[in-house]
Amino acid sequence: MEAVVKRGSWVQIHRVILPPGQRAPQVPEETQRVPLELWAKGFLDHDARLGDEVTIRTIIGREMTGCLLAVNPRYEHDFGSPIPELLTIGPELREFLAGRRPR
Amino acid sequence: MTGDRTSPGAVMARKNEIMKRAVGIDYDRYARGPLAFDYERMMEEVGYGLEEIRRIQEANAVGHTPLIELKNITEVVRRTAHRGKGARIFLKDEAANPSGSFKARRASVSIYHAQAGGYKGVIAATSGNYGAAVASMAAMRRLAAIIVQEVYDSRRVGQPEIIEKGRACEAYGAEVLQLSVGPELFYVFLLLLEETGYFNASLYTPFSIVGIETLGVEIVEDLADREGRQPDMVVITHAGGGNVTGTARGLRAAGCPGAVVVGASVDLAGLHMASDADFNRKSFTTGHTGFGVPFATWPDRSDVPRNAARPLRYLDRYVTVTQGEVFYVTEALAQLEGLERGPAGNTSLTAAIALARDLDEDQVVVVQETEYTGAGKHPTAQLTLARENGVEVRRGDPRENVPGKRIVIPERPEQIQARQVDLDRLRRSYLRNAIEASGVRRVDPIEVAFLMEETRAPREFVQAALVDLGVSGPD
């Protein structure tokens, strides 16, 4: 059983804005088939468990409701992996400038 | 968000009413017929004077960014050019603005105006640098900010560049609402405007566009101070049209009508902007043709009734470059000039390298922006995502590039090309959209004159296009 998430925790909520079938007519088929979803963060209004319908107060103080998805969600984006195809561009260009290529 | 009043249909039906309150502009005032409206009058009456904009921006530490001569890159260009060719390349380092991009200029006037109008907060629908700019300016002026972004596909794989911009918005104290792929973001945006009564800090109001005019003015002034001359060409990354419009207006205001104004976009032809499947198959989230072409050919698709960004009025040329070419040039800028900057902002630099090759050595090309870089907003982050999504990444001839399938990073600098977009084709497309949207079957002389201004095309061109569209005109 999930642990209780304490009131006042910084959390992320999720909700479906438009289910499949209610998407805008102009969107392509693969988008029609999936819901329009929303994620928001804020301070939890009351003790709850993951998956509960909860109310949060966002950083600017607005109240929002949704399904409790995560506690203190981490930023997971990064610089990715080194790209071998990019690594040699600098040395190549420096060599190009050093060379006495006829113009 | 259920119930009749908040259903998409009901909210969209209240669009004009919501916008009027959220922007404070009565756009109907400028209408001159079913098609025509008085663009210059709108810019004059609603906008701010240049001196006032400068004061507003100086109060927020916006603008006066360095103009840097890229001597090593210029030398690379000259070594790939014919004798006597290879213009000097200068770069306006807009990453030096608060929030790290030229978007600070756009946000500054909007937020000033919102504060002066007594709004308690601002909302912007943007997945780009503009969100961070709005959040940063709102922080300076003690207004609340909400930024609505399109971030995830249906697998909940996020676009790293957009996640980073969301983080930046949060760093400045904004509430960030993240959405999955789809144009219905606009419906959520309208609901929020109505619920909060906040100002719509749209990218496309006159406030936003006049804020960029200082960039064009500074280019002319900086170059006059340093080199005692005017730019021969100014290359501008083109997406929604504001960058082109504002910069070109600034060049004109500074008494530099002669510089060739070139728009540059990353070519993403074939990728659908509302497609859940295509969303993470692109490595650029702005500065690309997915915005550049539709916004040039129908500016009023934006979140305000009359878009103040109207690029066809200002473009002398429009060119595209490939994703791989921009990544190559981003690497070159870091390694040859010691400037690590975000890839999307280097779209215009990439085009400038190709264009400078055909200009004389004593000519000057100005690249008018850079943007900050960081986790997510970096070639390595984007190419890692590309590989994870099955996009092939390799060195080779950029002509083999296929958006969404293959990113080809050039092997040599001379392979970088600026591919010409046929502006007449875009002009005809604009005219078709204008006729379809207005439903007019007959035009009067005022409307023909308006369409000539909109497309910067001669009367014969506009009239011939109208005849093709089955529209009868003034005799």
What is the token pair recorded at B314?
A: 């200002």
Q: Is the pLDDT of residue B124 over 90?
A: yes
**pLDDT band with cut points at 50, 70 and 90 for residue B1:** very low
User: By C-alpha distance, which of B68, B65, B148, B53 is closest to B99?
Assistant: B65
Q: What is the DSSP string of B376-443?
A: TBSHHHHHHHHHHTT-EEEEE-GGG-BTTTEEEEESSGGG---EEP-HHHHHHHHHHHHHHHH--SB-
Question: Residue A99's pLDDT is what?
Answer: 87
| Residues B280 and B391: beta-carbon distance below 8 Å | no
The mean pLDDT of B126-131, rounded to a whole number, is: 94
User: In a mutagenesis test of the A interface, which of B179, B329, B397 is the best target, namely the one with the most A β-carbons within 10 Å?
Assistant: B179
* C-alpha span between B412 and B424 (Å, rounded): 32
pTM: 0.96
* Nearest neighbour of A31 by CB, restricted to B145, B146, B182: B182
Q: What is the pLDDT of residues B77-98, one digit of tens each?
A: 999 999 999 999 999 999 999 9
Tens digit of each residue's pLDDT (9 = 90 or more) over B5-30: 999 999 999 998 999 999 999 999 99
Report how far apart, in Å, the C-alpha atoms of B362 and of each of B52, B71, B227 are. 35, 13, 11
Taking the CA of residue A28 and the nearest CA in chain B, the distance in Å comes to 6
Give the span between the Cα atoms of B37 and B30, in whole angstroms: 5
The per-residue pLDDT for range B378-387, each reduced to its tens digit, is 999 999 999 9
Question: What are B420-448's pLDDT values in tens digits?
Answer: 999 999 999 999 999 999 999 999 999 99
Nearest to B454 by CA among B313, B297, B317: B313
What is the pLDDT, as a whole number, of residue B241? 97
Instruction: Compare CB distances from A97 to B72, B175, B379 and report the shortest one's residue.
Output: B72
Inspect the interface and report whether the beta carbons of A79 and B380 lie closer than 8 Å. yes
Nearest beta carbon to residue B178 from set A28, A30, A38: A38
- Output helix, strand, coil percentages for chain B, rounded to the nearest 5: 50, 15, 35
Residue of B nearest to A17 (CA): B1
Q: How many beta-carbon pairs under 8 angstroms link A with B? A: 161
Chain B interface mutation, best of A12, A14, A26, A30, highest count of B Cβ atoms under 10 Å: A30
Query: Is residue A39 within 8 Å of A102, Cβ to Cβ?
Result: no
To the nearest whole angstrom, how far is the Cα of A38 from the nearest Cα of chain B?
Answer: 5
Whether residue A54 contacts residue A69, with contact meaning beta carbons closer than 8 Å, is answered with: no
CB contact under 8 A, B327 and A93: no
pLDDT at A101: 53
Per-residue pLDDT, averaged over B312-319, amounts to 98
Integer CA distances (angstroms), B127 to B151, B177, B346, in order: 7, 10, 18
pLDDT exceeds 60 at position B470: yes
Q: How confident is the model at residue A102 (pLDDT cuts 50, 70, 90)?
A: very low
**Alpha carbon of B452 to those of B44, B110, B275, B432, B440: distances in Å?**
20, 30, 34, 14, 16
pLDDT, residue A103, reads 45
Question: What was the pLDDT predicted at A1?
Answer: 56
Cα–Cα distance for residue pair B464/B453, rounded to 1 Å: 16
Chain A residues near residue B272 by CB distance under 8 angstroms: 28
pLDDT at B303: 87
Q: Do B179 and A36 touch (CB under 8 A)?
A: yes
Give the pLDDT band (50/70/90) at residue B106. Answer: very high
Contacts of B275 in chain A (CB under 8 A): 28, 30-31
pLDDT tens digit sequence for B326-375: 999 999 999 999 999 999 999 999 999 999 999 999 999 999 999 999 99
% of chain B exceeding 90 in pLDDT: 94
User: B195: closest CA among B148, B252, B228?
Assistant: B148
Q: What angle do CA A39, A43, A47 make, to 5 degrees?
A: 105
Nearest to B236 by CA among B352, B329, B120: B352
B105 near B214, Cβ under 8 Å? yes
pLDDT at res. B45: 86
CA distance B71 to B44: 39
Tell me, what's the pLDDT at B474?
80
pLDDT of residue B410 exceeding 60: yes
Dihedral-angle region of residue A80 (phi above 0 means left; psi in -120 to 50 means alpha; beta otherwise) = left
The pLDDT, as a whole number, for residue A100 is 58
> What single-letter amino acid sits at B77?
V
- Closest Cα to residue B56, out of B113, B103, B117? B113
Integer Cα distance of B80 and B86 in angstroms: 8
A-contacting residues in B 160-189 (Cβ below 8 Å):
160, 163-164, 167, 170, 173-184, 187-188
ipTM of the complex: 0.95
Residue B70: what pLDDT? 98
CB atoms within 10 A of CB B360: 12
Rounded to whole angstroms, the Cα distance separating B405 from B93 reads 32
What amino acid occupies position B424?
D
Above 80 in pLDDT, residue B181?
Answer: yes
